[in-house]
Amino acid sequence: MERTQNRSAAVRRGWGKLPERKRGRMAEVTQPGWTRLRTATGRYEYQFQGEMPTVRGGQYEDARDYQFLVLDDEGLLYKIPVRLAAEIASELGAATVQLRVAEAQLISGLETYRPRQGAPYPEMDAQFSLSADRARELAAKIQS
């Protein structure tokens, strides 16, 4: 009974409520959904997971990896990095443009490459890394 009384007292004092500036923010944060995709290599669902420094062979590179989770039609889950070099990232500008370019490269890579468990980074980089020319090409397509 004491717990109930303490709870009621906390509610009366407003301790259990979010401050005005934080109300509504919970609704603004959304969990990214899965996007369905059908390519020549199969059916997939993918989801952006985040951006992180590129590390290959224990060394940091002057690039960023855009990490995507990819679920194939057999229910296998893969983590696929799309590498974007730092110099082209600054040229592309806004983070949303960089993400859209990385997503377009992921889709393009899945057209010709079917992910497999334990694939080494060099194999995935061959399919999903963005050269400066390719990034410019995709950015032009996205912005038109």
27-71, pLDDT tens digit by residue? Answer: 444 446 899 999 999 999 999 999 999 888 899 988 889 999 999
pTM value is 0.74
Domain that holds residue 64: 32-143
pLDDT tens per residue across span 62-104? 888 999 999 999 999 999 999 998 888 888 888 888 899 999 9
Examine residue 102 and state whether it is found in any structural domain, yes or no.
yes
Q: How many folded domains does the chain comprise?
A: 1
**16 CB-near residues (< 8 Å, 6+ apart):** 7, 10
